[in-house]
Structure 1
Amino acid sequence: MNIFKKALFAFGLAGLVFTACNDNDDDDFKLGDKEGTVLVTFGSSYEAPQQTFATMGAAAKAKFPNEEIRWGYTSDLILNILRQGNGENGIQKDNDTPQEAITNMIKEGYSKFTVQSLHVIPGEEYEEMIEKANTVKKEYPDIEISFGKPLLDSDEDLQAVAEVLNAKFATELSAGPVIFMGHGTPHEADGQYTKLETKLKALNTNFFVGTVEGIGFDADETSIGGILNKIPAGTTNITISPLMSIAGDHANNDMAGVTGETDPAEQSWKERLEAAGYIVNIVMKGLGDYAEINAIWMDHLNTAMNK
């Protein structure tokens, strides 16, 4: 029995040594020298946003035809829904996180990366994107990563976006106010929504920007209730549209949903406005559906590439 135990112990040690050798196969790994881009978004399990993502990806490829472009989703919830085939109408996709996308590209010979944010403001999700992408550098310290700014980063961005929206919604403005729904955040970047509204109002006083949460929402400044108090007397028609990269969950439910609720706090924007007597027009388009808006994101990508 003692001989058997010794033999078993020796076999076990051999197995450990063999396993250790396998685990260290990457010791001979050498970084390649290729450059690539990862477009990063929160993600969506809705069907229409998949086409918006395709439009945004096509914009990147058109501006940078020789660039390898991959995608990264920051929402683990969305990733799991899609991987399980539980997206809208059974959508099934095996998307990567930003760090997974970068790691996979490293193994394919890439070492210099531009990670482009497709977020609207430089808030929590943007900072989380940077944090997650930089975790890869702990394992591969010699790689280079630069980050492209989100849509509403600078004052110039705010002005450019305001001018695009003013042109795109000219017809709707001729009928009445246009209210954009932003997401909102407890981060200080929540102030970008108010700054954008200021830029928009300088072009047309019938523009309003609201959010579904965040600092401005909590102060009842960007909530739909707060905006209702600012609608000019005599208004009949109001247009609502998402101020988000895609028309996803918030746009379909919080903005345009039919809840059947009587409590204003539980109603969608559409229901709140209709209950107040307005005729509501919905433009169900994400910002990524507009070529002129995508051009701003692509300018940010170009800036990051050339750092």
Structure 2
Amino acid sequence: MKKLLGIALASAAAGLCLSALKKASDEQTVELSPVKRSSPNKKAILVVSFGTSYAQTREKTIGAIEEDFRSAFPEYTIRRAFTSKMIIKKLRERDGIEVDTVAQALEKLEAEGYSTVICQPTHVMGGFEFDDVKREVENWKGRFDHIACGWPLLTSSEDYEQVTEALVQEFSNIPSDAALVLMGHGTEHPANATYPALDYRLKARGCKNFFVGTVEGYPDLQTVMQEVAAIHASKVFLAPLMVVAGDHAINDLCGEEEDSWKSCFEQAGYQTEPILKGLGEYPAFRRIYLEHCVQCIQSLESEQ
């Protein structure tokens, strides 16, 4: 994969620059020249996120991902779309902030004369939201010269390897006698298998004190608490396995309500320590989205 990325970034056809990607990984920004709207080959990357109504984490995560894309793909216009209509509605009514749905964003790009569009989701796995994005992209084929959709964070075997290594590095300060509990969203979609698969990968990597759970799927809180009890952990660190540290992280994971994960572990006698950082705050995870976008561009160009 890394070799593929290097080749892709070096190709003149893709127009990608390895030094630009390095800047993105190091959280640096670059000066961009204005997009020439009269260009006969206007290209855009639509960064598609579930969304969050929490402004601080939105800029630290989704905003950071989008800035990395601006640095890595200077020849593309970067646009934002959310898949959660509830969050879009809340932002409009509460804050006066307008965020497009995928369909609205594509309509604007078509009206502005763009010929190539890459939709890159920031979802963790390929659940219902990702299915909707893919379906929307299919519906728009024929209205752009070229349109394609990249993959979510956890898709290929190499993705799991990269995410596992990133988690090991980012949480290397977790004591061996403590537990790290990562909360994912969970879903009724078959892609919920992503979570136990990642948990298995972490255990195989030697992280016997790392646990993956979900709010709305499997493994659930009860399962995770049983596993934590089995290793006799002295303390539990709680972190979201989500791109943003939004409502689920603030309330379901670390809230003061008696049914939050933090409260449940404390009621069971554990000390707890929240780590309220979304995956989008870590350069290692953001880079995977960049790699997926490069792959998407390469695949699109190979079909031309």
TM norm structure 2: 0.81
Match of 1:163 in 2: 165
Q: Which moved more, 1:175-184 or 1:283-292?
A: 175-184
Q: Which runs of 5 or more structure 1 residues have no equivalent in the other structure? A: 1-30, 217-221, 262-266
Match of 2:242 in 1: 244
Q: Distance in 2 between matches of 1:278 and 1:143?
A: 57
Match of 1:68 in 2: 77
Given that residues 184 and 211 in structure 1 are in contact (C-alpha distance below 8 angstroms), is that contact kept between their aligned partners in structure 2? yes
Match of 1:49 in 2: 57
Amino acid at match of 1:124: F
Matched ranges for 1:226-241 at <5 A: 226-231=223-228, 232-241=230-239
Matched ranges for 1:99-178 at <5 A: 99-137=103-141, 141-174=143-176, 176-178=178-180
Question: 1:34 Cα deviation (Å)?
Answer: 1.3
Paired residues in the alignment total 258
How has the CA–CA distance of structure 1 residues 280 and 47 changed in structure 2, closer, same or farther, with 3 Å as cutoff?
same
Given that residues 49 and 62 in structure 2 are in contact (C-alpha distance below 8 angstroms), is that contact kept between their aligned partners in structure 1? no
Question: 1:174 Cα deviation (Å)?
Answer: 3.9
2:212 to 209, 213, 228: 209
Aligned residues: percent identity? 34
Q: Which runs of 5 or more structure 2 residues have no equivalent in the other structure? A: 1-38, 300-304
How has the CA–CA distance of structure 1 residues 133 and 99 changed in structure 2, closer, same or farther, with 3 Å as cutoff?
farther
Match of 1:33 in 2: 41
Q: Distance in 2 between matches of 1:82 and 1:284?
A: 22
Specify which structure has the bigger relative contact order, considering alpha-carbon pairs within 8 angstroms and separated by 6 or more residues: 2
Matched ranges for 1:2-41 at <5 A: 33-41=41-49
How has the CA–CA distance of structure 1 residues 173 and 93 changed in structure 2, closer, same or farther, with 3 Å as cutoff?
farther
Can you list the C-alpha shifts for 1:160-181, whole angstroms capped at 9, x where unaligned?
0000010110112445110100
Q: Secondary structure at the match of 2:238?
A: strand
Q: Which moved more, 1:44-53 or 1:280-289?
A: 44-53
Question: 1:233 Cα deviation (Å)?
Answer: 4.5
Given that residues 48 and 247 in structure 1 are in contact (C-alpha distance below 8 angstroms), is that contact kept between their aligned partners in structure 2? no
Given that residues 49 and 122 in structure 2 are in contact (C-alpha distance below 8 angstroms), is that contact kept between their aligned partners in structure 1? yes
Q: Secondary structure at the match of 1:229?
A: helix
More helix by share: 1
Q: Distance in 2 between matches of 1:295 and 1:234?
A: 35
- Report runs of 4+ in structure 1 exceeding 6 Å deviation: none
Match of 1:79 in 2: 88
Match of 1:96 in 2: 100
| Cα RMSD (Å) | 1.6
Given that residues 44 and 76 in structure 2 are in contact (C-alpha distance below 8 angstroms), is that contact kept between their aligned partners in structure 1? yes
Q: Which of the pair has more CA radius of gyration?
A: 1
Can you list the C-alpha shifts for 1:40-80, whole angstroms capped at 9, x where unaligned?
01111112222121111111112112211001111111111
Question: 1:92 Cα deviation (Å)?
Answer: 3.2
